[in-house]
Amino acid sequence: MRNYLLCLLILPLFLVADELATPSFTQQAVAATEQGMRDIAILNRPLIKVNGKTISQIDVIKKMNAFLYKNYPEVIGNKMPMYQYYSSSWRRTLDDIINDELMLLEAEAKEVTVTVGDVREEVEARFGPNIMESLEKIGMSLEEARQYVETEMLVQRVMWMNVHQKAMQKATPKKIKESYADYVKENPPKDTWVYQVLSIKGDSQDLAQKMIAIASSTDGDLEARAKAVTETFNEEPDLPSVNVSDEFSIELSKLSDQHKQALEDLKPNQFSAPIAQTSRRDNSTVWRLFYLKDKLHQEPPPFEIVSEQLKNQIMQQFAMEYAKDYFASLRDKYHLSDADLKEMIPADYEPFALK
């Protein structure tokens, strides 16, 4: 009760339109604030009127909350992620609401409908068996949830008729094969070599050469060989450094010429002969012993494996293009211009702040 009183005292400070300072909007704001937004100040105001309906900032919040509940329920009630999502997504969400309202007009004109039973079934599937408890978390009433789901279902059908169906027709077998040819060009066959290197470097080349010879003739992996070398020559003054690299896994096209020459004649699980190479760091001589673990060859996946993925990518590409054109045509048809939107909602308008 104390929290509700606190919200009732604070929220009116952020309501900038007198006509929205009514019990219904205040109650909605309180419900939204109680569910994870206690520390987020909401500047509520009417944003735009579409299809005879005034869309407010709270309407935008409710749609964002419904999206979070469906896709990222763990974020609900987490102040910072919610604030970041609200701040970055509210304009895009408002655009979606505007497009939805315009498509509802199209659905009405073309007599596109959904049944009450379908809506009820989807609400139950969306919000689970404890519907009222789930809706309370996102500040939405049962009737609002039904309207939200009904709108979503109608919009999906209108989008199918005007966007997705056309996009599907573009994903022809010829187009998919052309896309696969491009895919193969961008993902050519790839050779990867996996190996390690034992390096010995010091001022005495004679001593370094003796040490690499011991490493070459010793059994075991490079770590064991390095240990044998160190133990054999531990009495020597100014002992050259002995180092075993981490495992390298490098594409052949990116391999240095020195390493490539040392490895190219080896088969997996073979060691090279001792090799004297020049350090790129200081041009000194370094004795190296290479151990090739594996040579991996990877071909692009066959057409049958990626064809469905390529088909979906083609449809998505054309769906985005068609949707952009379709929404533009709807706004032109119903006389809603970008200039009108900018006038009603300035570019620097920011409705959220952390308390």
89 phi-psi bin (left φ>0, alpha ψ -120 to 50, beta other) = alpha
Comparing 205-214, 229-238, 265-274, 291-300, which segment has the lowest mean pLDDT? 229-238
Residue holding tokens 């390690």?
Answer: 196
Residues composing the chain: 355
Q: What is the pTM of this model?
A: 0.63
Which tens digits make up the pLDDT trace of 83-101? Answer: 999 999 999 999 999 999 9
Spatial distance between the Cα atoms of 96 and 65, rounded to a whole number of angstroms: 14
State residue 275's pLDDT score: 95
Q: Could you give the 3-state DSSP secondary structure of residue 190?
A: strand
CATH code assigned to 190-298: 3.10.50
Q: With 80 as the cut, is the pLDDT of residue 18 above it?
A: no
Beta-carbon count within 10 A of 341 CB: 16
Q: Taking residues 169-193, report their average pLDDT.
A: 95
DSSP for 205-218 reads: HHHHHHHHHHHHHS
Which tens digits make up the pLDDT trace of 305-353? Answer: 999 999 999 999 999 999 999 999 999 999 888 887 888 888 888 888 8
Sequence ranges of the domains in the chain: 2-169+339-354, 190-298
Contact yes or no for 139/32 (Cβ under 8 A): yes
Comparing 18-27, 72-81, 220-229, which segment has the lowest mean pLDDT? 18-27
Question: In this structure, what are the phi and psi dihedrals at residue 4, rounded to the nearest 5 degrees?
Answer: -65, -40
